[in-house]
Amino acid sequence: MSSLQLQGVSSGYKASVVLRDLSLDIAAGEAVALLGKNGMGKSTLLKTIMGYLPKQSGQVRLDGTDITRTAPHRVARMGVAYAAQEQAIFADLSIRDNLRIGLARESDFATRFDAIEPIFPVFKTRLKQYAGTLSGGEQKMLLVARALMMRPSVILLDEITEGLQPSVIDRLAQALLWERKTHGTTMLVIEQNVAFALQVADRFMVLKQGEIVEQGNARDTTAAETVFAYLRV
């Protein structure tokens, strides 16, 4: 597990500034849910952390190491798994090949898959099936399963529940709770599904127009009400 810190980070797309002097601190082993309406900069934040978008100012640190200017593939090698909102599966590859991509060694596959198979039993007998033939919910599960196969120190999740039926959402929540209990993995969960976010997180933050405007304990009885107040506006 690793800590993740952003200090005074501003970023965006060319001349358009989306994140404005944003700072946050996620302790090693902590799960933080970042919520907000569409267009507030949530996905931009994850792309900025991963290095897909340049930082106009500020610093990003992973377990104390400055990764502000680090390339995305190097950030991944440092133990950061990223499940993007755009379903980043390889449709023409098998389920097994998709799961294998994040592993450094082929020899790790059997052990890693055996560990996650009870959480994602849908894949047990379908490893040779093309990923592109999976349903939308199964593709989201494959994204999360691939991230867990990496045994990352940090997982970044971008609205993985969008468009999913309740049973799949519950399956994903149980997978993340299992991951935290088993490996103590640090998580930053971007969501609009408030119930899911508060279920898997220790703390919540609300992002509005590129700035964090509210935060609190996810277990607080008023947490959902606080978040919904911002989402309704």
220 secondary structure, DSSP code = S
Domain count, the chain: 1
Residue 113 lies in a domain: no
The CATH number that applies at residue 215 is 3.40.50.300
Residue 161 lies in a domain: yes
Q: What is the pLDDT of residues 60-78, one digit of tens each?
A: 999 999 999 999 999 999 9
Residue 39 lies in a domain: yes
Which of 187, 191, 193 shows the shortest CA–CA distance to 156?
A: 187
Residue 200 and residue 189: Cα distance in Å, rounded?
8
Residue 174 lies in a domain: yes
Give CB contacts under 8 A, 24+ apart, made by 225-232.
Answer: 227/35, 227/194, 227/197, 227/198, 228/194, 230/35, 230/36, 230/37, 230/206, 231/35, 231/36, 231/37, 231/192, 231/194
pTM over 0.85: yes
Residue 21 lies in a domain: yes
Residue-level pLDDT at 68:
94
Residue 217 lies in a domain: yes
Report strand pairing: 31-35 vs 55-62: unpaired
Q: What is the pLDDT of residues 82-125, one digit of tens each?
A: 988 766 788 999 999 999 987 888 999 999 999 989 888 889 99
Domain that holds residue 195: 4-87+134-232
Residue 164 lies in a domain: yes
Q: What is the pLDDT of residues 4-18, one digit of tens each?
A: 999 999 998 877 888
Residue 157 lies in a domain: yes
Q: Which helix (H) or strand (E) holds 26?
A: strand 16-26
> In this model, does residue 152 exceed pLDDT 80?
yes
- Tokens 């120190």 locate to 153
Which of 150, 179, 171 shows the shortest CA–CA distance to 31?
A: 179
